[in-house]
Amino acid sequence: MKKIAFAAACTLFTIVSTAQPHQKLHKEAIVIDTHNDFISTSIEKKLGFDQSLKGITHSDLKRMREGGIDIQIFSIFCDENYGKGTAFAFANREMDSMYAIIQRNPTNTMLVKSPDDLANAVKSGKLGCMMGVEGGHMIEDRLDYLDSLYKRGARYMTLTWNNSTDWASSAADERAKNNLGHPYGLNAFGEQIVKRMNELGMIVDISHVGEKTFYDAVRISKKPVIASHSCAYTLCPVPRNMTDDQIKALGKNGGVIHLNFNSGFVDSSFPAKNRAFIQRHQVEKDSLLKLNPSDFFANMRINEKYKNEIDDARPSLSQLLDHLDHIVRLIGVDHVGLGSDFDGINSTPRELNDVADMPLITKALMERGYSKNDIKKILGGNFIRVFKENQQ
């Protein structure tokens, strides 16, 4: 028996002693990803989170453990085809799916609604599952629906998705100068929604919103906001990224911008390459649009079918971290985090094929000279601060 115990101890020592420095730091840190679309993907494709889905999705329970994810915020999402009478119901359907995942995996997962829950999840070694509503259209212009989603566990809400609401304008609509039938930004009801979110302790998420909406939101909010999945416009000028002035305003607010891994938000040359790719398959895309009028999902299908073709255009992890460096230079290391958008995007940096690759970010940050303390802030500490301040 002693020989067996000694051999086991030697094996453990070998594993620990041969672990790379970045792996040790990644394990020490509380790793939080503020945006993952697995729930929508699982419903659409009828997949289980506790299945082995490597090569099918970016995420599953096993690979999240491999990637060292401690807390995952799952997106509660539906697109612009859902509206009054359907959007709120679909949001609840996705929440039901989240609850079902946790109920099926009680020893490996738990629902996180509070900072105390978050700490308990980390202490117990369970994956802490949080929820964020991606798109204000899901409350259907009703404050009681907002309250209901919060009660069920939603801890942030993105004020708009690509589609504007009756009370807030999106980045897509503002940049395209679309006529919404109402002024850009937040109207009086939109301001009321932000104030109600502050009262509830629900974080205001400004990813996807237009600049006018953004500035209205940071003016109205008395608590730090987040961009749950965005990058820097200066490095990649697409509507979904944040300008330097927006980033500075977010810093003054005390908020955090969480980097989106989408190739199109990382590399300024990728959108042109992607457009050329889509044009080569336009006939097939048009057929898909006849089945589902969502441009987003048609593009997803084309990318999945011709994965090797589009993969050649993917940016590097280094280019993603250039965005992080840019934000840090503007507002400091206390205001940046990770919001992968895994399972909601078609293309990621070459080194980040799925959630299991997350430790490579820690390695790259160490190579760039970030201190252990700063890396821990980036990986999750900054979000925890904002979460606590919103819950106070």
CB 149 within 8 A of CB 91: yes
pLDDT computed for residue 300 by the predictor: 76
pLDDT-derived band at 229, boundaries 50, 70, 90: very high
Residue 345 backbone class (left: φ over 0; alpha: ψ -120 to 50; beta: rest): beta
Q: Across residues 317-326, what is the average pLDDT?
A: 98
Does 283 reside within a domain? no
> What pLDDT does 274 receive?
84
Asked whether residue 1 carries a pLDDT value surpassing 70, the answer given is no
In a domain, 290, yes or no: no
Is 278 part of any domain? Answer: no
Closest to 191 measured CA to CA, from 224, 218, 217, 172: 217
Strands 203-205 and 154-158: parallel
Domain CATH code at residue 367:
3.20.20.140
Inside any domain, residue 309: no
Residue 268 domain-assigned (yes or no): no
Given a cut of 60, whether residue 10 has pLDDT beyond it is no
- Structural domain harbouring 220: 29-260+334-343+351-391
**Minimum mean pLDDT range among 100-109, 236-245, 302-311, 371-380:** 302-311
The verdict on residue 289 lying in a domain is no
Query: How many structural domains is the chain composed of?
Result: 1
Q: pLDDT tens digit string along 19-40?
A: 799 999 999 999 999 999 999 9
Which pLDDT score, from 0 to 100, does residue 308 have?
A: 79
Q: How confident is the model at residue 219 (pLDDT cuts 50, 70, 90)?
A: very high
- For residue 254, pLDDT beyond 60: yes
Q: Is residue 186 part of a domain?
A: yes
Count of beta carbons in the 10 Å neighbourhood of residue 284: 15
Using 50, 70 and 90 to split pLDDT, how confident is the model at 11? Answer: very low
Provide the residue type at 82 as one letter. Answer: Y
Of the listed ranges 30-39, 49-58, 69-78, 202-211, the least confidently predicted one is: 49-58
Q: List, for residues 129-163, the tens digit of each pLDDT value.
A: 999 999 999 999 999 999 999 999 999 999 999 99
Least confident of 13-27, 56-70, 125-139: 13-27
Question: How many Cβ atoms sit within 10 Å of the Cβ of residue 223?
Answer: 20
Phi, psi for residue 339 in degrees, rounded to 5: -140, 80
Q: What is the pLDDT of residue 194?
A: 98
**pLDDT value at residue 293:** 81
Region 83-100: what's the mean pLDDT? 97
Sequence-ordered list of residues with C-beta below 8 angstroms from that of 10, at least 6 positions apart, any chain: none
User: Is 291 domain-assigned?
Assistant: no
